[in-house]
Amino acid sequence: MVVTLDRPKANAIDAATSRALYDAFSMLRDDVSLRAAVLTGAGKRFFSAGWDLKSAEADEASGADHGPGGFAGLTELFGLGKPVIAAVNGAAYGGGVELMLAAHLAVAAETAVFAVPEARLGVLPDAGGLLRLPARLPRPVALELLLTGRTFSALEAQQ
């Protein structure tokens, strides 16, 4: 199954998109004919810019209901039982990184870039980033990225 985030300009995730993603991942979980999912972003510029801050500013409170799977329908969907592969084809920022980290595997284009900029905004990456990033990267590197919010390349992530 291929799941494509397609919300121009940045494939940002609002509450409705989060619930739609949960529906897709629930289908993966429940449909015995589906064996895996690839999650990607439409276009080449963004995999996902994360939480849709424009929607949040307009009418979505920070505590908006993102559905039973948590943010982006996947970050709290434990026990899925089938692999999800994040195919990162562009920039992944904030919640986009957290969504990638919630996948079982991640592959990235050489041009992909990543950042967890929440610290710069005075908030926490609370959709799993605080726990999952140090599990995937050496702790000092993960802490530096979480505390500074600096952008890093796909090559650096691979190393």
The answer to whether 37 and 25 are in contact (CB under 8 A) is: yes
Burial label, 61 (beta-carbon count in 10 A; 0-12, 13-18, 19+): exposed
Neighbouring-strand partners of residue 5: 41
Which residues, 6 or more positions from 100, have their beta carbon under 8 angstroms from its beta carbon?
A: 47, 86, 88, 92, 106, 114
Active site residues: 98, 118
